[in-house]
């Protein structure tokens, strides 16, 4: 691939040397700035006002074909972006919104140096988005170099300038990873007759009657407590979690198990290690997410199940979260995670994590788990102990950012039933 450098390079020079010489084209026409062709047809387009943004994410294979370098192997994932600014004022694209630690073209180069020839180096630089400004009535396209996300590449694009601002979130599937939420047909899970539309008081009562804990496949043994309730559409849930830095997980298959084991042994970064199945309502989790911290030993796992409950038109989810504080080796699944026995601490971490990512509008607490004090803990399915105050946190999630000072704390204690489920 050769980017269109004939017009692009000339214009870039023009901008650098004498910005005042640029004569704006007539209304309705767009000046073509740096122009780099899209890597594939999996494009997503977002239009707001005078701004149109198109994005595409090349897979590992496509990236190798374009740049003749395996950038993915260096934890670098290019995002192709085109901004069409049809308005009368300059706009700014801030790549930091796409990845807070994005790489400049030369940083991407230097990380790939041993596998690269000079042509690839200049290819990377010529194809990258270097200037932030997109002048009035012009178009700009090129690559931003981010850290790798497998599966769905989720990122925000912020376009700022003048009095208008545009914040958009993109979710671009990238071939190569099977994800839990694609396997489950949520619409078909509960027929309308089984759904229960509940007011707040009835909702609290129903939540306290939900099972206390997850089960194993046989349904006999009890495991980790179900201490989370989320209220929101699946897309709101994904937007909020991805903004907070959570990733999807892969379902357990042979190859990923080996990757996890290798990662545990080397302390490497395999962000997408699979989780095992746990059971509620006689089925494994509908959604599994994880948030990696600095290595496989430091991550949080979260599993969710859709309930038949509906509140204010929104589906209600119940779930379990654990903080992994170490990895143990077992014969059956090769590895298993040692979880923090202070499950309430992990629950409060999640609430804060979502609140700081501006994903929560309301929250409160209900019972249903049953308390277990520090000196008389209960055990989960892998024999790890846990202790808890017995509460579930209920969070109302939002797909649009909700500032910290706008969160409502609901006192749900007037509706408490003190019921503890089995």
Partner 1 sequence: MLTLLLAGCGLQPFHGTELAGASFLSRTITQSSGPVTVSVAVPDARETLALTGLDLYEQGIQPVWLRVDNHTENQARVALSSIDRDYFSPIEVAYMNRRRFSGSGYADMEKWFHDNRLRRMVPSGTANSGLVYTHLRPGTKGFNLDIFSGGENHSFTFFVPMPGFEADYTKVKFESLYSEDDIRQLDRASLVNVLLEELPCCAHGPDAGSDGGPINVVVVASPLALRRGLLRGGWLETQADREETEGARAHKFDGRGPDGIFYLDRPDGNERINLHLWLSPWRMEGTPVWVGQVYYREIEESFLRGLADARAIRDSAFLSRFMRESVVADIDSARRFLLQNLWYNQSLEAFGTVSGVGVATENEPLLTFDGIGYFTDGERIVLILSDSPVGLDEVHFLNYEEDLQSGVAQ
Give me the residues that bind partner 1 (CB under 8 A), please.
16-17, 19-20, 74-75, 90, 92, 94-97, 100-101, 103-107, 109-111, 113, 118, 121-122, 130, 132, 147, 158, 160-162, 165, 167, 293-294, 297-298, 323, 325-326, 338, 340-342, 345-346, 348-349, 352-353, 355-356, 374, 404-405, 409
HSE (side-chain half, CA atoms, 13 Å) at 288: 20
- Nearer to partner 1 by C-beta: 145 or 238? 145
- Nearer to partner 1 by C-beta: 92 or 281? 92
HSE (side-chain half, CA atoms, 13 Å) at 66: 27
Q: How far is the CB of 187 from partner 1 (least distance, A)?
A: 34
Query: 5 in helix, strand or coil?
Result: helix
* Residue 39 burial (CB count, 10 A): 22
Beta strands 247-248 and 287-292: pairing type? Answer: antiparallel
How far apart are alpha carbons 90 and 219 in whole angstroms? 61
Q: How far is the CB of 408 from partner 1 (least distance, A)?
A: 8
What is the rounded (10 degree) CA torsion for 285, 291, 292, 298? -80
Q: How far is the CB of 288 from partner 1 (least distance, A)?
A: 21
Q: How far is the CB of 25 from partner 1 (least distance, A)?
A: 19
How far apart are alpha carbons 300 and 350 in whole angstroms? 9
Q: How far is the CB of 106 from partner 1 (least distance, A)?
A: 4
- Nearer to partner 1 by C-beta: 146 or 307? 146
Q: How far is the CB of 161 from partner 1 (least distance, A)?
A: 6
HSE (side-chain half, CA atoms, 13 Å) at 36: 29
Q: How far is the CB of 260 from partner 1 (least distance, A)?
A: 19
Q: How far is the CB of 159 from partner 1 (least distance, A)?
A: 10
Q: In 104-180, where do the E strands start and end?
A: 133-134, 138-147, 152-161, 164-173
- Nearer to partner 1 by C-beta: 74 or 181? 74
Full 3-state SS string of 334-389: EEEEEECCEHHHHHHHHHHHHHHCCCEEEEEEECCCCCECCCCCEECCCCCEEEEC
Q: How far is the CB of 17 from partner 1 (least distance, A)?
A: 7
- Nearer to partner 1 by C-beta: 147 or 215? 147
- Nearer to partner 1 by C-beta: 94 or 330? 94
- Nearer to partner 1 by C-beta: 23 or 409? 409
- Measured between alpha carbons, how far is residue 285 from residues 184, 216, 248, 281 in Å? 9, 11, 13, 9
- Nearer to partner 1 by C-beta: 316 or 395? 395
Q: In 61-163, where do the E strands start and end?
A: 76-85, 91-93, 133-134, 138-147, 152-161
Q: How far is the CB of 404 from partner 1 (least distance, A)?
A: 7
- Nearer to partner 1 by C-beta: 37 or 326? 326
Helices 5-17 and 118-127 pack at an angle, to 10 degrees, of 60
- Nearer to partner 1 by C-beta: 108 or 306? 108
- As beta bridge partners, residue 99 has none
Beta strands 138-147 and 31-32: pairing type? Answer: parallel
Query: 180 in helix, strand or coil?
Result: helix
Beta strands 408-409 and 360-366: pairing type? Answer: parallel
| Cβ–Cβ < 8 Å for 72, 63 | yes
- Nearer to partner 1 by C-beta: 101 or 193? 101
Q: How far is the CB of 356 from partner 1 (least distance, A)?
A: 6
């Amino acid at each position: 691939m050769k980017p269109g450098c004939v017009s692009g390079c000339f214009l870039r020079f023009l901008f650098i040397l004498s910005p005042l010489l640029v004569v704006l084209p007539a209304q309705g026409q767009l000046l073509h700035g740096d122009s780099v062709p899209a890597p594939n047809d999996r494009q997503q387009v977002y239009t707001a006002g005078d701004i149109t943004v198109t994005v595409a994410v090349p897979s590992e294979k496509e990236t190798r074909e374009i740049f003749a370098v395996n950038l993915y192997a260096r934890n670098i994932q290019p995002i192709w972006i085109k901004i069409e600014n049809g308005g009368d004022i300059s706009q700014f694209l801030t790549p930091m919104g796409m990845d807070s630690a994005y790489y400049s073209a030369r940083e991407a180069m230097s990380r790939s140096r041993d596998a690269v020839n000079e042509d690839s180096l200049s290819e990377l630089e010529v194809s990258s988005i270097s200037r932030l400004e997109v002048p009035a009535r012009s178009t700009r396209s090129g690559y931003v170099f981010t850290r790798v996300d497998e599966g769905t590449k989720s990122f925000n694009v912020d376009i700022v300038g003048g009095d208008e601002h545009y914040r958009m979130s993109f979710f671009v599937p990238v071939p190569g990873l099977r994800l839990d939420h694609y396997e489950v047909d949520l619409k078909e899970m509960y027929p309308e007759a089984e759904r229960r539309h509940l007011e707040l008081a009835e909702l609290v009562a129903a939540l306290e009657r939900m099972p206390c804990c997850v089960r194993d496949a046989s349904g006999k043994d009890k495991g980790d407590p179900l201490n989370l309730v989320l209220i929101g559409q699946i897309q709101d849930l994904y937007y909020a979690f991805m903004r907070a830095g959570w990733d999807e997980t892969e379902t357990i298959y042979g190859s990923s198990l080996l990757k996890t084991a290798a990662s545990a042994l080397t302390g490497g970064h395999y962000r997408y290690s699979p989780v095992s199945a746990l059971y509620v309502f006689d089925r494994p989790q509908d959604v599994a997410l994880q948030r990696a911290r600095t290595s496989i030993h430091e991550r949080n796992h979260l599993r969710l199940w859709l309930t038949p409950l509906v509140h204010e038109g929104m589906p209600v989810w119940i779930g379990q979260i654990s903080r992994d504080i170490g990895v143990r080796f077992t014969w059956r699944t090769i590895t298993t995670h040692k979880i923090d026995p202070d499950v309430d601490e992990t629950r409060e971490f999640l609430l804060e994590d979502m609140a700081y990512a501006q994903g929560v509008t309301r929250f409160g607490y209900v019972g249903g788990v049953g308390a277990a004090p520090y000196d008389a803990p209960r055990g989960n399915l892998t024999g790890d102990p846990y202790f808890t105050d017995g509460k579930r946190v209920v969070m109302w999630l939002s797909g649009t950012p909700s500032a910290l000072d706008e969160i409502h704390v609901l006192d749900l204690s007037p509706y408490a039933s003190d019921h503890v489920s089995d």
